[in-house]
Amino acid sequence: MDFMPPEQRRTMEEQFSAVLKHAGNIVSRLKTPTSTVINLLRRLKNKLNAKERAKIRRGLMWEIATALRDGGIPPGIVIAMTKGQ
């Protein structure tokens, strides 16, 4: 049963959508030609063993999580967006 009025639910959805858009913009700004993120992504294209690949993925998650936190994204959303597979 849903006890939240439709107007309040709509407002919360709009706020959440705005946070996700802001997070997307932050991640997009990390993708400059000389950035650490691009360098790590390029390295993932190489033939790597599982240990090396995992290390690079952790580096990517750390870089992205740091940028999101610094950009004001709430911790719960940062964790959800950077959680490993």
pLDDT in tens, the chain (85 residues): 567 777 877 888 999 999 999 999 999 999 998 999 999 999 999 999 999 999 999 999 999 999 999 999 999 999 998 885 4
Q: Which of 38, 77, 75 is nearest to 60 (CA)?
A: 38
What is the predicted pLDDT for the residue at 1? Answer: 54
What is the predicted pLDDT for the residue at 73? Answer: 95
Quote the strand ranges of the chain, DSSP E.
none
Which pTM does this prediction carry? 0.80
Identity of the amino acid at 39: N
